[in-house]
Amino acid sequence: MLEIRNLHAKVAETEILRGIDLTVNAGEVHAVMGPNGSGKSTLAHVLSGRENYQVTGGEVIYEGKNLLKMAPEERAREGIFLAFQYPVEIPGVNTTYFLKAALNAVRKHRGIEELDAMDFLALIKEKMKVVEMDQELLNRPVNEGFSGGEKKRNEIFQMAVLDPKLAILDETDSGLDIDALRVVANGVNVLRSKERAMIVITHYQRLLSYIVPDFVHVLFDGRIVKSGDKQLALELEDKGYGWIEAQIQKAQPAANS
Amino acid sequence: MAGSKRRSRRPNRRRTAKGHAAVTMSIPEAKNVYQDHFSQAEKDWAHNGQAWSRKIREAAMSRFAELGFPTVREEEWKYTNVGPIAKIPFRPARYEIDSSISDLAARLTLGMPEAIRIVFVNGYYSAELSSLRRLPQGMKVSSLAAAIRQEAGWVESHLARHAGYQDHAFVALNTALMKDGAFVFFPEGSIVKEPIHLLFISTAGKGATVSHPRNLIVIGKGSEGTIVESYAGLEDEVYFTNAVTEIVLEEGAVGEHYKLQRESRRAFHIATLQACQDRSSSFSSHSIALGGALVRNEVNAVLDGEGGQCALNGLYLAGGEQHVDNHTRIDHVKPHCTSRELYKGVLDGKSRGVFNGKIYVHPSAWKSDARQTNKNLLLSQDAWVDTKPQLEIYNNDVKCSHGSTIGQLDQDSIFYLRSRGIGVEVARDLLTYAFAGDVISRLRVEAIRAQMDKLLIAKFQRDSQAKDGI
């Protein structure tokens, strides 16, 4: 489904991604872990088409197409969903209106009939259950005045509504207490399917006890330096990111001299 | 505590409104043109024998002769050059009606086809387009010219007593040359929920014309009334509307005033709304400016009785080469009055916006509570806005604040919407609409709110279907 080859990207003249290789197939859940500044969020933003990130090398093939050539909205319509680390508050734009516009843009692109108000409400009622979303929030402007937990739930709720093929969860666990984390993780688990792939970006192993990944990758200094299964996450939790750093230095003693 | 902000990416420059009639005059000649208009009109007034109104007109005319047209050297006109108005030899507008005008009138119902409506064409009352049946008991809606004839004493006690012409050339000109306008009276204790629509349609016909609509609205003691004043013109015609509205709120009155300005793209529109509020009255003004090439819209409220409240809201949307200037002044004269003000501007193309909001707290106005906000959204690199909040406070037991912002659409918000599949153009439109919608949501009359909503959606989403029937 997704093939990232030797991806390089920079933000304001600083190279952040320095050769990422990653293959994700339908039905798989990949965790990308790494210390602060390793490039995790940059990877998420580059995949979703954020403008301030400049791709300087490599390629990303999504379902046989060049992803990097697509506008952000095109990527979304093609089935890519980014759950934001910091969801944006949009005063004056009603949540329901926004979701309906988004869903119908996606459906139109996929050649499915657009939903009318009645069918749309029926659909969101159903999807609200996924993250125990409070209906009252739907009448408010997008994310405005939402608590941290409500914002993250809203992200997963939107994911449930838009039904993406590839979901990228950017530090969805950050700032959540354990109860909110359980609700959000449970929502994500409900949405796991054979057709859908997920990239779960996180700093901590904690989330991965709830969303159990098929693969774990460690991102360090703009590269994936280690990959494994869920055991790798536990090992990291035990030994810390310093352990990875030490391993890299051992492997490349000449690089620093 | 006065300060001003200006914003554009281009260096400072002066621009005059474009696309007007080719014949221009020097400014001293312009004054003579209006003197001629006055002499012509004097003959008509000779018949109706209103000594008091002639006196006012003469005083106003001589005041105009002294003042002349304002220039950008005057603080109050610093950002608005009325040179283009002064240079065109406008002719007095005449009552002309044809199918294009009656069609326009038929469309401009503001979603209230059954409403009580008084229509003026080129400043003259049009009985055939007006609909004054079903007036509530005791209520009066008529042309001002008729009211001057029929209720002289009564009109005399209010007309030109509130909108000062001593310091304002355009108010002076209007006062000197006013021909007609609406007279609306809500008698004591009347609660009228239904809005009264005053519609002004202009058409230049064969050459640039000027009209001076003059309205007098009195909301009696303990009464409630809603007035909608709307201005429109035929596309692309050059004319000049110079309007003055005086609105008097007696003790405990509740008045709501809507102004919808949709003049032709080449029109000049200068207007003053002057509200005078007695004790415990409540006034709200919603001023929506969409049309015109060069527009100056003044809204002034005098809180002249204890416990009065006023809310001035405004929305100005400009594009192309439009110049839209909003001037407001709130006088806190008596204690315990509250004022709230929210003006928002959306400026696209090479348009220019001005907001100047003065709050003047008099020494006698203890416990004044005033809050003013002006927010501007620039949609293009060539759009420009000058915003100048001014607080003048001569009492130290008050609560006053003001704030103004100038910004562009938030990039994070645009990306968020796009990341959900919403196209970039739609995302921008949606955010612009949301910015403006804040003012629209304050409109209390549902029909008008719905119409404004439609109008905004049409404007921002380029959906031509929604433009009809508003």
Identify any residues that bridge with B312 across adjacent strands, giving them in sequence order.
B285, B341
Instruction: Enter the tokens of residue B239.
Output: 């004319």
pLDDT for res B176: 95
pLDDT band at B6 (very low <50, low <70, confident <90, very high): low
Query: Which of B31, B50, B27 is closest to B39 using CA atoms?
Result: B31
How far is the C-alpha of B330 from the C-alpha of B463, rounded, in Å? 38
Question: CA B209: distance to chain centroid?
Answer: 19
B407 touching A (Cβ < 8 Å): no
Instruction: Calculate mean pLDDT across residues B75-90.
Output: 93
Instruction: Calculate mean pLDDT across residues B377-400.
Output: 95
How far is the C-alpha of A178 from the C-alpha of B262, rounded, in Å? 56
pLDDT band at B437 (very low <50, low <70, confident <90, very high): confident
Model pLDDT for residues B250-300, shown as the tens digit of each residue? 999 999 999 999 999 999 999 999 999 999 999 999 999 999 999 999 999
Those residues of chain A whose CB sits closer than 8 Å to some CB in chain B are: 48-51, 71-73, 75-77, 81-82, 84, 87-88, 90-93, 98-99, 101-103, 105-106, 109, 141-142, 158, 162
Least confident of B1-15, B170-184, B210-224, B376-390: B1-15
Determine whether the interchain pair B421/A73 forms a contact, defined as Cβ–Cβ distance below 8 Å. yes
Residues of A in contact with B418 (CB under 8 A): 49, 71-73, 76
pLDDT for res B54: 85
Beta strands in B17-157 (DSSP E): 91-92, 116-121, 124-131, 140-143
How far is the C-alpha of A75 from the C-alpha of A70, rounded, in Å? 6
Model pLDDT for residues A160-185, shown as the tens digit of each residue? 999 999 999 999 998 888 988 999 99
pLDDT for res A248: 81
Model pLDDT for residues A229-244, shown as the tens digit of each residue? 988 988 888 888 888 8
At B325, the amino acid letter reads: D
Q: What is the mean pLDDT of chain B?
A: 89
Instruction: Calculate mean pLDDT across residues B345-358.
Output: 96
Coil, helix or strand at residue B345: strand
- Whole-number Cα distances in Å, B228 to A44, A57, A58, B188: 52, 61, 62, 20
* Contact status, residue B116 vs residue B169, Cβ threshold 8 Å: no
Determine whether the interchain pair A158/B422 forms a contact, defined as Cβ–Cβ distance below 8 Å. no
pLDDT for res A79: 96
How many Cβ atoms from other residues are within 10 Å of residue A257's Cβ?
A: 5
3-state secondary structure B153-205: HHHHCCCCCCCCCCCCHHHHHHHHHCCCCEEEEECCCCECCCCEEEEEEECCC
Model pLDDT for residues B90-126, shown as the tens digit of each residue? 999 989 888 989 999 999 998 888 889 999 999 999 9
Q: Is the pLDDT of residue A26 over 60?
A: yes
pLDDT for res A249: 80
Q: Is the pLDDT of residue B392 over 80?
A: yes
Q: Is the pLDDT of residue A89 over 80?
A: yes
Determine whether the interchain pair B417/A102 forms a contact, defined as Cβ–Cβ distance below 8 Å. yes
Residues of A in contact with B434 (CB under 8 A): 90-93, 141
pLDDT for res B195: 94
pLDDT for res B17: 39
pLDDT for res B132: 92
Mutate one of A81, A88, A99, A107 to test the B interface: name it (highest B CB count within 10 A).
Answer: A88
B153 touching A (Cβ < 8 Å): no
B425 touching A (Cβ < 8 Å): no
Instruction: Calculate mean pLDDT across residues B325-353.
Output: 97
Determine whether the interchain pair B422/A102 forms a contact, defined as Cβ–Cβ distance below 8 Å. yes
pLDDT for res B12: 37
Residues of B in contact with A87 (CB under 8 A): 416
Which H or E element spans position B324? strand B323-332
pLDDT for res A134: 85
pLDDT for res B43: 77
pLDDT for res A133: 86
Model pLDDT for residues B202-241, shown as the tens digit of each residue? 988 778 999 999 999 999 999 999 999 999 998 888 999 9
Question: In sequence order, what are the residues at sequence separation of 6 or more whose Cβ sits closer than 8 angstroms to the Cβ of residue B112?
Answer: B195, B197, B447, B448
> Could you report the predicted ipTM of this complex, rounded to two decimals?
0.95
∠ CA B399-B401-B404, nearest 5°, is 170
Core vs surface per residue A203-242: b (16+ CB within 10 A) or e: bebebbebbebebbbbbbbbbbbbeeebebbebbeeeebe
Residues of B in contact with A99 (CB under 8 A): 420
User: How close, in Å, is residue B294 to chain A by CA atoms?
Assistant: 30
Least confident of B29-38, B106-115, B341-350, B443-452: B29-38
Beta strands in B348-469 (DSSP E): 352-361, 369-378, 384-393, 399-407
Q: What is the mean pLDDT of chain A?
A: 91
B431 touching A (Cβ < 8 Å): yes
Phi and psi torsions of B43, nearest 5°: -60, -40
How many Cβ atoms from other residues are within 10 Å of residue A249's Cβ?
A: 11
Identify any residues that bridge with B377 across adjacent strands, giving them in sequence order.
B346, B407
How far is the C-alpha of B373 from the C-alpha of B356, rounded, in Å? 11
Coil, helix or strand at residue B402: strand
Instruction: Calculate mean pLDDT across residues B303-332.
Output: 97
pLDDT band at B1 (very low <50, low <70, confident <90, very high): very low
- Whole-number Cα distances in Å, B219 to A44, A80, B16, B313, B394: 61, 59, 40, 20, 30
Model pLDDT for residues B151-198, shown as the tens digit of each residue? 888 888 999 999 999 999 999 999 999 999 999 999 999 999 999 999
Q: Which of B420, B435, B438 sits opposite A158 (nearest CB)?
A: B420
Nearest chain A residue to B432 by CA distance is A92
pLDDT for res B438: 86
Coil, helix or strand at residue B288: strand
Q: What pTM was computed for the model?
A: 0.87
pLDDT for res B5: 64
Residues of A in contact with B437 (CB under 8 A): 92
User: How close, in Å, is residue B331 to chain A by CA atoms?
Assistant: 31
Residues of A in contact with B419 (CB under 8 A): 48-49, 72-73, 75-76, 81-82, 84
Mutate one of B373, B411, B417 to test the A interface: name it (highest A CB count within 10 A).
Answer: B417
Mutate one of A73, A109, A159 to test the B interface: name it (highest B CB count within 10 A).
Answer: A73
Q: Which of A73, A88, A101 sits opposite B413 (nearest CB)?
A: A88
Q: Is the pLDDT of residue B352 over 50?
A: yes
Question: In sequence order, what are the residues at sequence separation of 6 or more whose Cβ sits closer than 8 angstroms to the Cβ of residue B44?
Answer: none
Residues of B in contact with A157 (CB under 8 A): none
pLDDT band at B469 (very low <50, low <70, confident <90, very high): very low
Mutate one of B409, B410, B420 to test the A interface: name it (highest A CB count within 10 A).
Answer: B420
Query: Which of B90, B137, B77, B146 is closest to B118 using CA atoms?
Result: B146
Q: Which of A49, A81, A90 sits opposite B416 (nearest CB)?
A: A90
Q: Is the pLDDT of residue B48 over 70?
A: no
Cβ-based contacts under 8 A for chains A and B: 77
